[in-house]
Structure 1
Amino acid sequence: MRNLNIITRKAERKYCRIFGKVRYLNNEVDVRILDLSITGVALEIRTPLHAASGSRVQIVAEDLGTLYGIIRWSHNGRLGIEFDPNSNSRAQVASYFRFFHKEVRPVLKR
């Protein structure tokens, strides 16, 4: 088995089904948020996003607003993004968990 050098989040993840977009420079792609924690998010992207690890991106979703983060990994059409500690992203996610989140279980496992 290959080591992908993926650094995992320490914060508790909550599964969800939120649709939105990721913006990188002048590119925008549709995404589905697979899981969310107070420190980051895992996304499934619909089309390739040509951005390297360490790139700064925006995640825009109706339920969450605009979140700012840094790509930490990319593999098989999925992205791992750590929220920018200098933004309000963590507070926005905490508010989402407090008022809107409904627990979702994945239908299929990869």
Structure 2
Amino acid sequence: MRNLNIITRRADRKYCRIFGKVRYLNNEVDARILNLSITGAAVEIRTPLYAASGSRVQILAEDLGTLHGIIRWSHNGRLGIQFDPNSNAQAQVASYFRFFHKDVKPVLTR
């Protein structure tokens, strides 16, 4: 069997519904965090954000604060964002899971 050099997730993701914004340069769009881990998040955006994979962005949410990250993928209005390991994102997400998170089941399936 061949190794396809596929990068896999390093942390378990949990479903959530956190509303906020994604900021790229001077553009800011409404967003909803669909799932979250200490290393990254999947985010659904309401309007197009013209940022390529590898672009640095910020997630702004009341429950989480400001999280800095890098876009790893985008598809059909969704973004995969890996948090910047040099930021305080891991501590902020761990605090969210400890004090605020309630388990959420997906409403619609694809």
- How many Å separate the matches in 2 of 1:65 and 1:8? 26
User: Could you say which structure has the larger radius of gyration?
Assistant: 2
Pairwise CA RMSD of aligned residues? 1.1
Q: What one-letter code is carried by the residue in structure 2 that aligns with 1:77?
A: G
For structure 2, list consecutive stretches of 5 or more residues without a partner in the other structure.
Answer: 1-5
- How many Å separate the matches in 2 of 1:81 and 1:50? 14
Question: Number of residue pairs matched?
Answer: 105
Q: CA shift at 1:68, angstroms?
A: 0.3
Match of 2:59 in 1: 59
TM-score by length of structure 2 reads: 0.92
Q: What one-letter code is carried by the residue in structure 2 that aligns with 1:14?
A: K
Q: Name the % identity.
A: 86
- How many Å separate the matches in 2 of 1:30 and 1:8? 28
> Where do residues 1-110 of structure 1 align in structure 2 (5 Å cutoff)?
7-110=7-110
Q: CA shift at 1:8, angstroms?
A: 4.0
Q: What one-letter code is carried by the residue in structure 1 that aligns with 2:71?
A: I
